Homo-oligomer: A and B are copies of this chain.
């Protein structure tokens, strides 16, 4: 049965998935690129100079067997992107999704067909409704839940997520959007595993226990 998975979602020690304030110039707020340096150093990101190892082994799973992505409005653009009819996402004309990609927003617009197989669809829908649409498009493949923190929280709270790969980066941000708020007791539904990488990050995986 196809799964709903989160991959390569970086958080600070204090649980923030991005800093603040987020803007066109600073997509991750005061966190800058510090949450993602571990990934830039992998072969997954940089096929020529990147390292292989535990960071890369986790990172490549981002591309592994997905037929659709769902993302929150905060991932698609800076605050206010809905007011810009020309906004086409952060990723240029060939975004790294290569599948139908569903952007949750209260102000939907017509689909955007990009290069490389990515088409952005804009949905004003609940997590359950959005997942139904994405799973229909994904067929036998999995659905990736792309973030940000608040959309991950709402899907986990609704019991819709099978696997999460979070990457704890050794910085303390103090402000931004927290991943853990409202998820107290999540350990009762998931097996949780931690692996420390020589790069300094900790790969944290939450795998939903089978419901028997």
Known: A15-B14, A193-B200, A200-B193. A180 touches B170 (CB 8 A): no
Which residues of the other chain, B, contact A65 by a CB distance below 8 angstroms? Answer: none
Interface residues on A, range: 20 to 34
Copies of this chain in its oligomeric complex: 2
Question: From residue A172, how far is it (CB to closest CB) to chain B in Å?
Answer: 5
From 174 to 190 in chain A, residues with beta carbon under 8 angstroms from any chain B beta carbon are 174-175, 178, 180-187
Which residues of the other chain, B, contact A201 by a CB distance below 8 angstroms? Answer: 194
Can you list, as one digit per residue, whether each of A150-189 has a CB less than 8 Å from chain B (1) or not (0)? 0000000000000000001011111100101111111100
On whether the beta carbons of A174 and B182 are closer than 8 Å, the reply is: yes
Which residues of the other chain, B, contact A181 by a CB distance below 8 angstroms? Answer: 14, 174
Name the prevailing secondary structure of the A interface residues: loop
On whether the beta carbons of A184 and B196 are closer than 8 Å, the reply is: no
Q: Is A192 an interface residue (CB 8 A)?
A: yes
Q: How many Å lie between the Cα of A186 and that of B170 in the bound state?
A: 9
Q: How many Å lie between the Cα of A173 and that of B172 in the bound state?
A: 19
Q: How many Å lie between the Cα of A194 and that of B102 in the bound state?
A: 36
